[in-house]
Amino acid sequence: MPTVKLTKRSVDGLLPPAKGQAVLWDAEVRGFGARILSSGTKTFILQYRNPEGIQRRINIGRYGILTVDQARDQAKLHLASVIQGEDPADENRRARKGMTVAEMCDWYLIEARAGNILGRLNRPIKASSLDMDESRIKTHIIPLLGKRVVTQLSIADVEQMQSDVKNGKTAKARTGGRGGKATGGAGVASRCLGTIQAIIGHAKHKGLLANHPTQGAKKLASKKRTRRLSVAEIEMLGKALAYAEQNHENPVALGVLQTLLLTGYRREEAQAMQRAWVNATGGFVSFPDTKGGAQVRAIGPAALKVIQSQAEIVGNPHVFPSEVGAGPYTAVSSCLDRVCKLAGISGVTPHTLRHTFGSIAGELGFSELTIRAMLGHASQNVTQDYIHIDEALKLAIQRTSDEIARLLEVGAARLQTMQQAA
C-alpha cells in the first residue's frame, strides 16, 4: 500500500482485504503504520531493526483506543529506545508475562487472523475456525477466566472452567449465528478447554511464556455422534423431500440435503462447492481446502445429477448459491428440520446424513479403510494415489450413492402412489 501521512481520515478509509492483512505506512515516522485485517480490525504497528540488526514488528495498540497522534508518539518513543540500544519487542514480551487471559485471547485472535499462527498441517488457521474460537472466548472463557493472569493459572483453574461451562454457568441467548442459545454441555466445555490450552500453547511457542501453566489438564469425554438413518428413515426422507419439492421448499436447500446424503461430504464442503471444482466427466470434485487440506473427492452420477440441476446465478461461482451476494447458501439446517418434521423423524443433523452415507457403505461390504477414504479423512497410511484416483474407490462411492438414491426414490414413489389414489 502507498506511504502517506497517517491521519484519522486515512485510517478510517482503510478497507479490509479479502484475506490476510494490509498495512498503510506513515510518511512521517519510518516504520510506523496502520494494519487492517480481513475482519476489519485496525491496529497501529511499528516495524524496525533492533540493535542486532534483526527486523522486528510490534503492535502499538488498537485504532479507536489510541488516536493516530497518540500511536505516532508511542512509535517515536519506541524508536528512541532502539537508538539507546533497547529492543521494544523484548519489553513487550516481558510485559506479556503479566497478561491476563482476556489480553492473551485478544493477542491470539489478532495474530491468528493475520496468518501468523499456524494450525493443522502447518497452515494458517481457517477463518471459520477462528470465528468458533472467538465465540467460545467471548461466551465462555473470558466471563470465567478473563481477569486471571495467565502465568498464575493452574490445571485446577481450567478444569473448573470446563465444569462451569458444562453445568451451564455461562449459558445465554445468542444474538446471532446458528441456534437460539449457548447452553454449554460436555462437548462445548471440552472444546473451550481445548481452545484455552491451544492459545497458551501458541503463546509459549511464540516466546511469550516460558512454560505452559495448565499443560496436562484433562478434557471431558464428549458423547460421540452415532445417529444414522435407517433404511426405513431414508425412504421416509425421500417421500418428505419429494413432498417439499412440490410445495415450494427452497430448491437450493433441498439440493444441498440430497448432496450431503448422496456424497457423505461435510456440510461446509457441500455449501462451499463451486462449479469450477466439479469435473462431471472424471467423476470428481477438486476441493482446494477441506478439514484435511486440499482434496480430490470422487462423486457418483446420482449426486452429479443433483448438482447439474441447480440453477446458475451470474456472478456467483457456487453450486448452491445464496439468494443475495456471491456467497454460498447456508440455511441448510433449518430446511433439514422442516423436511424431517414432514418425514416424522427426529434427531437428524447434517452430520447424520454424512454418517448415514458411511453406514450404508459398510452395509454394502466396504472396509473401514475404504470408507474413511470415501469420507475424506483417510489415515496417513493410505497413499495419495489411492485417495485421489483409485477406480475401486470411485466404484465404492458410486455403489453407495446409487443405493441411497434408490431408497430415496422408493419413498418418492410412495408419495406418488398416495397422490394418485387420492
Residue 208: alpha-carbon gap to chain centroid: 26
Q: Positive or negative, the Cα torsion across 122, 126, 130, 133?
A: negative
At 380 the pLDDT is 39
**Which DSSP string corresponds to 53-64?**
S-EEEEEEEEBT
Helices (H), 273-376: 301-308, 332-343, 350-363, 368-374
Query: What is the model's pTM?
Result: 0.65
> What are 173's strand-pairing partners?
181
Cα 144 to Cα 136, 215, 241, distances in angstroms: 11, 19, 44
At 98 the pLDDT is 76
At 126 the pLDDT is 85
Task: Give the phi and the psi of residue 2 in degrees, each rounded to 5.
Answer: -65, 160
So where are the chain's domains? 3-92, 103-205, 231-421
CATH 3.30.1130.10 holds for 231-421:
no
How do the pLDDT tens digits run along the chain, 422 residues long?
678 999 999 999 999 998 888 999 999 999 999 999 988 899 999 999 998 889 999 999 999 989 999 999 999 999 999 998 888 887 766 666 678 999 999 999 999 998 889 887 788 888 888 999 999 999 999 999 999 999 899 999 999 999 999 999 998 755 544 444 566 788 899 999 999 999 999 999 988 888 899 999 999 986 666 789 999 999 999 999 999 999 989 999 999 999 999 999 999 999 999 999 999 999 999 999 887 778 899 999 999 999 999 999 999 999 999 988 889 999 999 999 999 999 999 999 999 999 999 999 999 999 998 999 999 875 434 334 434 447 888 999 999 999 999 999 999 999 888 888 86
Let me know: does 145 contact 161? Beta carbons within 8 Å. Answer: yes
Task: Quote the Cα angle for 313-314-319, to 5°.
Answer: 45
- Name which of 39, 29, 36, 28 is nearest 1 in CA terms: 36
Unique residue bearing C-alpha cell 497522534:
69
Let me know: does 200 contact 216? Beta carbons within 8 Å. Answer: no
Indicate the helix (H) or strand (E) that contains 75: helix 68-83
Unique residue bearing C-alpha cell 493516530:
68
Burial of 234 (0-12, 13-18, 19+ CB in 10 A): buried
b/e sequence 388-402, b meaning 16+ C-beta within 10 Å: eebeebbebbbbbbb
Overall fold of domain 3-92: Double Stranded RNA Binding Domain (3.30.160)
Please give the Cα distance from 38 to 18 (Å, whole number).
Answer: 6
- In the DSSP assignment, the letter for residue 327 is S
Q: Do domains 3-92 and 231-421 have the same CATH topology?
A: no
